[in-house]
Chains A and B, each alone.
Chain A
Amino acid sequence: MTAKKEQDKETKHPNNSKDGRVGARGWTPPNTKGDMNNNNNDNNNTDTQDKIQYNTNTPNNLKTKKFQLRYPKKRIKDPSIYYIIKHYNVIPNILRANITEKQIGFMIIELEGKEKNIEDSITYLKSRGIKVNTFKTGTQLNKNKCTQCSLCIAHCPTGALHIPDKKTMEIEFDREKCIECRACILVCPFGAINDDLNGNPDTDI
C-alpha cells in the first residue's frame, strides 16, 4: 500500500517540496529503513511489508513537515519529542540529531500528523525555548556551481543524488529522497550543495 502510494506521489508530484507534501514519505515501519534502500531495490518496501504486519494506512488529512530544532543548553535533557508524541499524536522521524550534553542541541525532524497537531507541537516546542526553523527548501544543488564531477554520489545514503543517464553522466537531485544528512555538503569541493540553515548548524547556539 505504502509503496504503491509513494510511487503514485512520485509520478504525480516529483518536486512538490514546498507545499506540505501530503504523506510524501508516508508512514514506513520503523525497523525497515524506508527510503534508505529504495535506490537499490524498488520492491524493498513491499517485501518487508509481507513479513511484518503494520497498520500502514495513512489518512489523507495527515501532513508531513520538516523542521530544524535548536535546543538551548538547559533544555538538552528534556524529553520534548516524547511529549509531542504523547500529547499531540504526531509521528516524528528524526533525520539527523547532534545533541551533546553541555554543548549543543540540534535536530532535523520530520513530523507527520494532522496539521493542527503539528502546529500545536511546534507551539509547545517554542514555549520550551527551543528554536524552530521551518525548511523553505532544505538541501539544494546549485547547478551553476556544480561541475558534475559526481564526487557526492557515493556519499549519498539514499540515492537522492544520482546519475539517471550513464551516457551523459549528469547529476540529478531528488529532493523527496533527501534526509538532510549533509554528507554531500561536506564532500563537495565546489560548495555547490547548500541547505538553508543559517550558518553552520554544528556549532554552538
Chain B
Amino acid sequence: MPKTYQELNEKIKKGQAVVVTAEEIIDIVEKEGIDEAYKNIDIVTTATFGTMCSSGCFLNFGHSKPKIRMTEAWLNDVRIYTGIAAVDAYLGATELQHNDPGNRYFPGEFKYGGGHVIEDLVSGKDVQLFALSYATDEYPRRELRTMININTLNQATMVNPRNCYQNYNVAVNAHKEHTIYTYMGALKPNMQNATYSSAGQLSPLLNDPLCKTIGIGTKVWLAGAPGHIYSQGTQHTTDCKRTKNNVPEEGAATLALTADMKQMDSEFVRGASIKGYGASLALGIGIPIPILNKEILKSTCVKDEDIYAPIIDYSSDYPKRLSNTIAKVNYKQLKSGQIRINNKKVKTSSMSSYPKAKKIASILKKEIQTGKFTLNEPYEKLPQNQPFKQLEIRDNKKQ
C-alpha cells in the first residue's frame, strides 16, 4: 500500500510519524528487511553542511527620511547589488570587502566577504550600511551611513541559486612542484592530499538519486528555517554517469533554495575564507524524504561504499575544462582518511562537515516527530532530461 503526503502529514500532526535519519535507516533495513521497514518507517531525514558559493540574500532596508534610491551600497564595506528597487538589494556570498587585495599577494586570505556579512546578520550583529545615490525628485537623498541588523530589516530572504550538489569531484593536484589554492582548499603537489565535498550517505540528493520526492515546492530545512525548493539549481543536469543504483558518479542535480533569514540559526550559516580562492558561505540543509513506496525506501539505504566520486586534477584538467578522471573512489574510502591513487597513499579531507550534517538530520527528525515540521508535496518535478551546456568563446562576426 503506497503512502500519501496527506496521510504522512496527518501522522506528523498527531505526533505519530516514525522518522529516522538516512544513517539509521541503513541498519534498520539490514536488520528488518525492506518489507518490514517499509511498514514501520514514514520519513527519512537527510542533511548536508558545506560551503555553497551560489548563495545570497535579498534585503529590504526600509525607507530613510528623506528617502533614497540606492545606486551603490555596501554592508560592512562589502558591495551589495542595488540594480533593483529603491531600498532592495542582493548580497552575494562570494562578494569581497572593498579594497580586499584579492590574489595580488598570492594566496589571498579573504578574511571577510559576503558570506561573513550573512553570518553576522543571522547572528543578530550590527552591520554598517553605506549607500550612494544620484538623487531623484521622489528620492532626494544622495548618501546614507547607518547601522542595521536583522531586526531592523523589513525582509531578509535567503535566495540561493545553487545548493546541495548531488555529488562532487574529489580534487587533487598533479603538478610536480606547486601547491595550488582552490575552492577545495590548498592542494599539495604530487597528489599529496585530496579533498572531497559531500555528506555521502546522508546527502539529500544521493538518497533520492532520481529526484522522485525532491522537486519544486518541496519543503526543506535551511539553516534552521523552514524553506523550500523554488527551482532547479543552476547547472542542474541529468546527463551523468550513474552506478546501477542510479546514484550519480559525478555532479548532477542541484537545488535552488529559499527561506526566511530571520528564522535561521547562525550555527548553520557560516562565512568561509578559502585561501587563494575567495570568500564563501557554509550552509546547513536538511531535506525529509517521505517513504511513499518501497523504491524510495530502497534508495534511502544507500551507503558510503556505494557512492563513487571522480578524482579530478585541479592543477590542469579542471581549469582547462578537460573531462579526464584520474580514478573513482567511494566515500567510505574517502572518509577513512587515506586513499590510493596509482599505488600512492593520498591523505583525504573534506570540505563538507559530516558531524554537522548528522546533527541537522537529527534536528530535522525531532522537528518532524514533534509536529513542528510538515511535508510539502512538490508541484513540479525537477527537469528529468537536461544536458549540461558549456560556454564556447566566439568572435563577433559582424565586426
Residues of A within 8 A of B (CB): 147-155, 163, 166, 168-170, 186-187, 189-191
Contacts and interface: CB of A to CB of B under 8 A. Distances in A.
Given A153-B337, A154-B193, A189-B282, A147 B353 contact: yes
A155 B193 contact: yes
- Greatest chain B CB density within 10 A among A150, A152, A190, A191 is at A150
Interface residues of B, number: 33
A151 B270 contact: no
B203 to A, nearest CB: 14
A186 B275 contact: yes
B interface, over-half SS: strand
A interface, over-half SS: loop
B280 interface: yes
Nearest to A148: B355
Interface in B332-385: 335-337, 347-356, 358
B19 interface: no
Contacts of A154: 192-195, 347-349
A170 B350 contact: no
Contacts of A148: 353-356
Interface in B282-338: 282, 335-337
Given A154-B349, A189-B274, A191-B273, A147 B335 contact: no
Contacts of A168: 355, 358
Given A189-B282, A190-B270, A191-B273, A153 B354 contact: no
B49 interface: yes
Given A153-B337, A190-B272, 11 more contacts: A147-B49, A147-B356, A148-B353, A149-B349, A150-B354, A153-B349, A154-B192, A163-B337, A169-B350, A187-B186, A190-B273
A170 B335 CA distance: 11
- Greatest chain A CB density within 10 A among B194, B351, B355 is at B355
A155 B273 contact: no
Contact of A169 (B50, B280, B354): B354
B51 interface: yes
Contacts of B347: 153-154
Contacts of A191: 111, 273
